[in-house]
Chain A
Amino acid sequence: MNKYVITSTRVGVIGTAFVASPSDDIDWLIAGGFIQHSDTHPSKGAKLAKKPDATDSQE
């Protein structure tokens, strides 16, 4: 599920999560600068697809 953060006081408190209702046009809100995608980072415990020092070459 996509998450969005408020970037304009016209929509709510800046920095807080935007909870969309079914009638909200997300593309329009993003284009107008009212909200943006929330940055998502893997949690500390998230498993990586491959080890950080792994190489792509097959030797």
Chain B
Amino acid sequence: MATSTYLSNPIVSIGAVDISDQCTSANLSQKIMALSDNAFGSTATSFTAGLQDNTLTLELFWSTASSETYATFKSLVGTKIASVTIKGTSAATSATNPLGTLTNGYLEELPVVYSLGELSRCTIVLRGGSFAWTEV
């Protein structure tokens, strides 16, 4: 069975800004809502595609240094982020290394956790927007 193991090199970019070295997890849920299209006479449940309902969750180290996490996201809260891209490795985009792009995902909050004796982190969630994979 072929599996993909990502040890260090997935790429996560906010627009043109590569935030990969602050990111420890990217959890993408590509979802298209299921709308029931059952009618009288149906003998089984049936659905048709509705609106996209995508979610991208990024876990990041919280750094307030120049050009780091804080500088990247501070002005994006409450906005739709034009483009967030995610890719398994830094290699060229291909059918086996597809580039996912979330367009106009909404950033509702920027929650930061400061804890004694730990690296500070924040988890951001981008809701909505349209998502597509690119293979070339």
Cβ of A11 within 8 Å of any chain B Cβ, yes or no, is yes
Cβ of B115 within 8 Å of any chain A Cβ, yes or no, is no
Main secondary structure of the interface of B (DSSP, over half): loop
Q: Please classify how large the interface on chain A is, using the bins under 10, 10 to 19, 20 to 34, 35 or more.
A: 10 to 19
Cβ of B33 within 8 Å of any chain A Cβ, yes or no, is no
**Contact yes or no, B75 A8, CB < 8 A:** no
- Residues of chain B within 8 A (CB-CB) of A33 are 66-67, 71
**Contact yes or no, A11 B16, CB < 8 A:** yes
CB distance from A49 to the nearest CB of B (A): 36
Main secondary structure of the interface of A (DSSP, over half): loop
CB distance from A21 to the nearest CB of B (A): 7
**Contact yes or no, A11 B18, CB < 8 A:** yes
CB distance from B130 to the nearest CB of A (A): 13
Q: Assuming the A-B contacts A23-B82, A23-B83, are A29 and B15 also in contact, with contact meaning beta carbons closer than 8 angstroms in the complex?
A: yes
- Residues of chain B within 8 A (CB-CB) of A29 are 15-17
Q: List 17 A-B contacts (CB under 8 A).
A: A7-B67, A8-B17, A8-B66, A10-B17, A10-B67, A11-B18, A21-B16, A24-B82, A28-B75, A29-B15, A29-B16, A31-B71, A32-B67, A32-B71, A32-B72, A33-B71, A34-B67
